[in-house]
Structure 1
């Protein structure tokens, strides 16, 4: 009987023959491999496969048979790890080529040839870790990440829960978003992208679009000015008309240009990171980064009812270029020019590629903007296409040639980061050398109040002096910027003084802030009803000739009420004192001042 070494030499000699001889002696070779063991078989397999490749063109059936015999001989020499079993193509038409795993359960398999191998027994599937589990124990998958049953993820405004390998998601209709950023980049509510560089005031969006209808409840206007000398323009101020209120956003500030007659202000202003947020009670939100980016969100109640540079919001981006005359046009400049407010403004011209006009900045712009395509944003790439944002970044970085280079670049990257945040992918892309935000500026010099930090994903609704209960009508996610972590003894964030406080001041009807103890101007002469010190009738009266005073560390709703002749008028607190001065007739509507001094307010 031959020894194992002799058998190995015989097998190697058989493998070194010509390809045709090797094919002819296939059966004897396989038997030799079985006797000499797995090690020799693996050596022979590589030799045979080289020979098979040489004869594949001349004799494909022979090559396929040889592959199958060698593969099956190798599988027979290896044991499947329980509970896996061996699927043999010699006894069945189905092998391991269509074996089900947790990731392929819902996929149909098209088999071109049988492949023998280890598979899970019926009723079980592979868990991708070498084991077998029941189907209902498989995890859910989202972007290649696995989630076990009961886990939740957020997809825009909807929550999805993993249940027996299936996602069960809420069906809320998410607000639509219009984005204007950088040098004339627009993305409409329905997702149409275009570049428009006009130097004038333009209507971004409004409702009640009929030419004969003047009952618009909101209108948003942008003032576009040149950015650089390449013909690009960007938004530098925003006008917001809400019913009969007019707000102007310019130079990092919100100014009230005109207040309405309604005693209840139809909007709320919040500071969230780098953004100033205006939210209304009727489903309109505006986010302004205090530079050149504006996000406008509207709820579904405005669907099909709005118009302007942000489009029609009817689910059809093909008619987003609807002009002021209600005609659908194909040309970007014709569409944009139709929405300018002043006919004396020059019409916008066709956009010129700034990188071709500034070739010396082209390479630098591509290098800077490559961060959008880099690994740092890789988790977002499958959900938000980076190519269009990258192109916009390069164009803007080339165009900003009169200063503000970094602002143009940073605005473009921040726009992509915010688009990723819409899908719950917050990316910490800023660094000390790339568009830094110096949040430490707001911390105290002695380090005792180190409460400010940069948050790329924003923060939940906070308790602020303008919102002492910390209740927000709309859930807003992913607004990056500097946020404070207020301590328990100073639970309220004062957005005007940018610090955490224990007691807030007062706000008048125009939302103007007054520190505690300051004089709040009123339209008429007033009395102020304060609690301390008590009078015999349980109240205390302070007469001020021309103003009302914030009444101290208690929640009060001060009402400055115009009196009837003869004067004086009076101001009362809420809750009221024991008894205000008797009046023969009910007082007219009051000009109210809201003093926010505790969560009870």
Structure 2
């Protein structure tokens, strides 16, 4: 036992000279968490051992070897080229995600991707020199797309790894190059980590038992390398890194050349690695390259630097460098005072010459007008001003509410509720009857809408789900008074327009829905389930008593119009979890809304379909009449797109076609109707019967040039 212990000590002392240590550990110095390979078959383990292994097969650089299920692995494939060895492929597996990096492409789980890409907590991006993979699991892999790979691991993987990077146990030599008291040669160690691959034919390098003799033969070149790396200009690096391992690597690089060979590729690779690790350790490497020695050519008008921020400011992202927490790296960067033009890709330009981008590229001075704001492009930045606009509240599918200020909530009612009210001057009150459609309490429908003008409870305007309209008695449409007009722009919709800035659009098919629009004069003056229209989202759930509730149910219960109705509770379950058949039906049809190859895709960038898709599945699984409910959500999405000027002409050919087949005699279905109800009676009217300033609707109507006969 004493002999074995002494043997360990001798071997440790013999090999300790090839260990890389960071001398002065600073917060940015993670050298002891880094393994790297570079140039002329050089490797540096996590524990600081530097060695050469001339293998050109595929190898396990590092993997998690202590778990029953391997969490990650990094494999590399090296190939020989005329000017030295190159890394042709880096394969990274993290749980069930497989990422393959090659010089010209990145493939994730068999699919070619465009960078940057983010999937399952893994980010892969690239710059002019490096391709870099980050994982939330604490794994970073950096490849220069030529000869160098660097792996940085979180300390939680200590003493858990295997591969050419070693076991990460913090002890140099031991377990890698000493095994059961026996010294293990570098080539023997490397060959153990070959990855079997039947598609690649390669041979293990010969295991030379006299590696020390090779080192002795190269010693005559050591002085040249020491002079090169111990120059004063490298002092910042020698302060944070042990220079000796890189001097040895440099010595081997020069020694391995033929006497007449002037190729400096291997030497440049070692100097680059030293510079790279110096920068990572917090040092500042010098500008050591020249036009004739290890020169790097940069694209555009970029300049090369040995230590620059990897977070480059661009026209679209001006504060990237300010917020950057990454280590400095070598690479191509924009000169001081410029940013990279990532809009027109013209290279580095002064920030004030940047353009702006939205749906297209805008030059300085050009104006973009959106729904509620006007923006002008100034030196690459949008300067926007709000434009006063109307408020829209929607009650859809009998349970989904969107307030004037844009807050969404779901509530299954069983009463008459105050949908919206002019709480300042009582110009209008809108009540909605929301009750269970059939037997299930959570399958609720909007059955009627009641509008009171100037708090006149004796003359309510009532619009029912079957399309009948009452004003004291049942009236036929179009119907006009001094203050409002009610008409049917199509057989699917009834429209109420007033003289004081209120518009109510009621959808009848497949199910009753209501869209309430108030003009800017009502801002901050409304109350009810539609909110207060004050452009503040956080206080929309305000009760008549002025309390902002935390749940939709408690808020909605406070706005009951009848005191004898029961309070309803919040629904917390997933309706699709009760029946796999319902879930499959909902998924089959609702997924068509998100299909990137379908007609709906033309609206995806303007109106995000995700929330509508979720509502579609929820409603379809909740409703007794599943088809009616899912078609109601599809019509809601089509309306939202139409409000943005995108008309999904033909969407009912994909889903919900049956509603187009039952038009009244002589009427035709249309996707885009925006006219007053054309009747014979309207021809006799001396004044315009309605305003056509409303979102176009679909449904059945008389063809152009024909009028509806009241009889």
Superposition TM-score, scaled by structure 2 size: 0.51
Q: Distance in 2 between matches of 1:129 and 1:24?
A: 46
**SS in structure 2 at match of 1:271:** strand
Deviations 1:503-555 (A, max 9, x none): x7xxxxxxxx888xx9xxxxxxxxxxxxxxxxxxxxxxxxxxxxxxxxxxxxx
Q: In the alignment, what sits opposite 1:500?
A: 704
2:24 maps to none
Whole-angstrom distance in 2 between the partners of 1:161 and 1:175: 22
Match of 1:222 among 400, 420, 432: 432
1:454 paired to 2:671: yes
Report matched runs for 1:21-40 at 5 Å: 40=83
In the alignment, structure 1 residue 292 sits paired with structure 2 residue 512: yes
How far off is 1:250 after superposition? 2.5
Q: Secondary structure at the match of 1:285?
A: strand
CA distance in structure 2 between the aligned counterparts of 1:174 and 1:115, rounded to whole angstroms = 51
Distance 1:51 1:242, change over 3 A: closer
1:342-388 Cα deviation digits (max 9, x unpaired):
44545545547443555542332234333455436678778766555
Equivalent pairs counted in the alignment come to 450
In structure 2, C-alpha distance between the alignment counterparts of 1:46 and 1:355, rounded to whole Å: 48
1:301 deviation in Å?
2.6
Aligned partners of 2:584, 2:151: CA distance in 1, in Å? 51
State the shift of 1:432 in Å.
Answer: 1.6
- Superposed, 1:229-308 pairs within 5 Å as 229-231=439-441, 232-243=443-454, 246-251=460-465, 253=467, 255-258=469-472, 264-267=482-485, 269=487, 271=489, 275-290=493-508, 291-308=511-528
Q: Give the Cα–Cα distance (whole angstroms) in 1 for the partners of residues 418 and 433 of structure 2.
A: 9
**CA positional deviation for 1:408:** 0.1
**Equivalent position SS for 2:615:** helix
Q: Which residue does the alignment assign to 2:356?
A: 140
* CA contact 1:306–1:313 (8 Å) conserved in 2: yes
2:411 to 165, 190, 196: 196
Structure 1 counterpart of 2:621, from 390, 398, 413: 398
* Residues 29-78 of structure 1: CA deviation (Å, up to 9, x unaligned): xxxxxxxxx96267388785259985697899578964366999799556
State the SS of the aligned residue for 2:148: helix
CA distance in 2, matches of 1:362, 1:149: 51
The offset of 1:409, in angstroms, is 0.5
The secondary structure found in structure 1 opposite 2:317 is: coil
Shift of the 333–78 alpha-carbon distance from structure 1 to 2, 3 Å rule, reads closer
Q: Report matched runs for 1:41-52 at 5 Å.
A: 43=86, 48-49=147-148
The equivalent residue for 1:113 is: 328
Q: 1:18 to 1:417 in 2, by over 3 A?
A: same
- 1:323-354 Cα offsets, whole Å, 9 max, x none, are 45666555654543444444454554554744
Q: 2:40 maps to which residue?
A: 15
Cα distance per residue 1:249-284 (max 9 Å; x no partner):
234636241499x97233464627954332323222
Name the CA shift for 1:379/1:23 in 2 (closer, same or farther; >3 Å).
Answer: farther
Cα distance, 1:41–1:387 mapped onto 2, change above 3 Å: same
Shift of 1:172: 1.5
Does residue 84 in structure 1 map to residue 301 in structure 2? yes
> What whole-Å deviation, never above 9, does each CA across 1:277-304 have from its counterpart, x for those lacking one?
3232322221222232111122343234
Task: Within 5 Å, give how 1:322-361 maps onto structure 2.
Answer: 322-324=542-544, 332-348=552-568, 351=571, 353=573, 354-358=575-579, 360-361=581-582
Shift of 1:218: 1.0
Report the 3-state secondary structure (helix = DSSP H, G, I; strand = E; otherwise coil) of the residue aligned with 2:482.
Answer: coil
1:505-520 correspondence to structure 2 within 5 Å: none
Deviation at residue 405 of structure 1 after TM alignment:
1.9
SS at match of 1:167: strand
Is the Cα–Cα contact under 8 Å of residues 182 and 408 in structure 1 kept in the other structure? yes
Tell me, in whole angstroms, the C-alpha distance in 2 between the residues paired with 1:343 and 1:129: 63
By how many angstroms is 1:181 displaced?
1.1
Structure 1 match to 2:120 = none
Asked if residue 165 in structure 1 is aligned to residue 380 in structure 2, the reply is yes
1:373-452, aligned counterparts within 5 Å? 373-375=594-596, 388-401=611-624, 404-419=625-640, 430-436=651-657
Return the offset for 1:235.
0.3
| Contact map agreement 1:99 1:120 (CA 8 A) in 2 | no
- Mark the CA change 1:278 to 1:61 in structure 2 (over 3 Å): closer, same or farther: farther
Q: Cα gap change, 1:271/1:394 in structure 2, threshold over 3 Å: closer, same or farther?
A: same
Q: Tell me: CA distance 1:335–1:74, structure 2 relative to 1, closer, same or farther (3 Å).
A: same
Report what 1:67 is aligned to. Answer: 273
C-alpha displacement at 1:186, in angstroms? 2.0
Asked if the contact 1:380–1:420 (Cα under 8 Å) also holds between the matched residues in 2, the reply is yes
2-structure distance, mates of 1:498, 1:384: 30
Contact 1:124 1:134 in 2 (8 A): yes
Matched ranges for 1:311-322 at <5 A: 311-316=531-536, 319-322=539-542
CA distance in 1, matches of 2:469, 2:629: 25
> Aligned-pair RMSD on alpha carbons?
5.2
5+ residue gaps, structure 1, are: 1-12, 26-37, 210-214, 483-494, 505-512, 519-601
Q: How far, CA to CA, are the matches of 2:492 and 2:703 in structure 1?
A: 16
Q: Which moved more, 1:41-50 or 1:196-205?
A: 41-50
Q: SS in structure 2 opposite 1:253?
A: coil
Question: Cα deviation per residue 1:390-442 (whole Å; 9 max; x = unaligned)?
Answer: 443222111222xx321100212333454455566666682423123876988
1:442-475 CA distance string (max 9 Å, x none): 8999xxx9x97535xx76x789787999998795
